[in-house]
Chains A and B, each alone.
Chain A
């Protein structure tokens, strides 16, 4: 389904922030904003929900800790409780201090790596992925706001965006929604 969107380009992040706030107060729908670097507070201005990545990291860490504990309890205590240098292998607790470095490292390992992989999956990033860049200048020094034209009056929307400080405005016919 073809849909109409408007690309408004800005050259300054302060102007962009103001524009985002104005567009939101006028109840136009911002599809996406492309910036060359993180703009502090942009997510808040756009009204994006908080990330839950930290919560997943905590849960992954718990998984890592469990795996480390179960693994070493099985290997060192249950499967073959050898006397290695006089360390007490009668129960997990008695020999726990020597397992702590591994428990710690596996917790961090699982939390970090699984969180990164979650991030890649949620933001759809992988090698050989086709870049979704609407305008190459946004990787360098331009800021691009993509506004859904929808059923709005396009000429009115263009003049409104021009007032917010956009230096260039284009109307784009999208073949399909890439979201």
Chain B
């Protein structure tokens, strides 16, 4: 049995408190009116202007940027520009909360999908890791509830995250009117309830059957039930995950659509989930709790991290290249805003999610070295946070993005909650699923 150390509990609580305080600060710093935005920008411009003047003496460059700025203000016609910025800045803490909430929820969901696949494929190597996976999926319930609350608030336009939820915007937008039968608050919430309930239901019964199988020494009754519900869940999952990705991410840009988007989000959540399994396994093994896990198990997880990272890149590139190549204006705006306003995060995540794991995890020996897997895992997780950031921020805060107090605090808050829930769930059952028919094979797994 695993016992939760006081240090870990305290650590996660501190993370949550610090995150919460930071978020409150983030919400408090939002400008309340156009006047405040003007003051903020004036202060910023005064600073920038000072820079410009000192440069202007040396070259024409400073003058040019000044000219452009004046021109920009004229084009936007007075307050309309400031109102736009106001909305973006008001969205900022909400969007950072949403990105972090979704990111940690998708880890739990990715692990759940991985867990179901292990059952459906009757894998012989992974049963020793089942309890670790079950513990991570425990976050599905609290994380899902938090996500649901944020979605409900946004779907009914308490905040301005989803433009389609704003009746004033829809009034003037023929495209959004055309999509209103799908994208409306009530139906949005009903769908979210359906998806989350289905996933939580599978999680509940899978864990229950896994515990019951431990006590059943005579037959494989519960194991067979797990197998069946896992196969059914995977069918349910692939439909609902796809639809959830349209609802919860793609609808931030309701004028834009992409057919492989569901797969793309799936690859992202799947690789994050597998990475988290690997990190947690290595941590628990280093503490001496998983004596039956050997480095072949780590090697297999690292192979999955490597393979799914490449799969993610394949989907990212397929989506990007098809749209870049045909360059149809209604589709390509999605990438133009990202390349122009989010250049570093957009291409930086490609380095973190593809090039780094490709080179680090290619060597077979390195996949057995714990610190290599941990290093690659941390970079992959950060990379996929930025991936979600890139999907959501351009549509909600646009050019006003910045990884500051509210973004970091939101991550800390959910990281603390995640660690607390996951490690508490670990204490609920023995770390070896001893009733599983493949457990002996898994203990002696050797690659």
Contact = CB atoms under 8 A, between A and B. Distances in A.
A98 B364 contact: no
B327 A98 contact: no
Contact of B321 (A54, A58, A86, A100): A100
Contacts of A100: 317, 321
Contacts of A98: 321, 325
A49 interface: no
A161 B317 CA distance: 60
Contacts of A97: 317, 320-321, 324-325
A50 to B, nearest CB: 9
A86 B327 CA distance: 10
Interface of chain B, main secondary structure: helix
Interface in A93-111: 97-98, 100
A54 B365 CA distance: 12
A97 B322 CA distance: 9
Contacts, number: 12
Contacts of B362: 58
Contacts of A58: 362
A58 B327 CA distance: 35
A38 to B, nearest CB: 15
A100 B350 CA distance: 14
A54 B364 contact: yes
Contacts of B364: 54
A52 to B, nearest CB: 12
A125 to B, nearest CB: 25
A97 B335 CA distance: 13
A54 B325 CA distance: 35
A54 B364 CA distance: 10
A169 B180 CA distance: 84
B363 to A, nearest CB: 8
Interface in B299-355: 317, 320-321, 324-325, 327
A54 to B, nearest CB: 7
Interface-centre pick from A97, A98, A100 (highest chain B CB count, 10 A)? A97
A97 B321 CA distance: 6
Contacts of A86: 327
A85 to B, nearest CB: 9
A54 B327 CA distance: 39
A45 to B, nearest CB: 15
Nearest to B321: A97
A131 to B, nearest CB: 32
B7 to A, nearest CB: 42
Nearest to B359: A58
A88 to B, nearest CB: 10
A22 to B, nearest CB: 23
A32 to B, nearest CB: 26
B111 to A, nearest CB: 30
Nearest to B327: A86
Interface in B353-369: 362, 364
A136 B325 CA distance: 59
Contacts of B324: 97
B329 to A, nearest CB: 13
A115 to B, nearest CB: 14
Nearest to A58: B362
Contacts of A54: 364
A135 B317 CA distance: 54
Nearest to B322: A97
A93 to B, nearest CB: 11
A54 B320 CA distance: 31
Nearest to B364: A54
Contacts of B317: 97, 100
Contacts of B325: 97-98
A97 B317 CA distance: 8
A97 B324 CA distance: 8
A115 B167 CA distance: 62
A153 B281 CA distance: 54
Given A97-B321, A100-B321, 8 more contacts: A54-B364, A86-B327, A97-B317, A97-B324, A97-B325, A98-B321, A98-B325, A100-B317
12 contacts: A54-B364, A58-B362, A86-B327, A97-B317, A97-B320, A97-B321, A97-B324, A97-B325, A98-B321, A98-B325, A100-B317, A100-B321
Interface of A: 54, 58, 86, 97-98, 100
**A-B complex: 4 closest residue pairs judged by Cβ atoms:** A97-B321, A97-B324, A98-B325, A100-B317
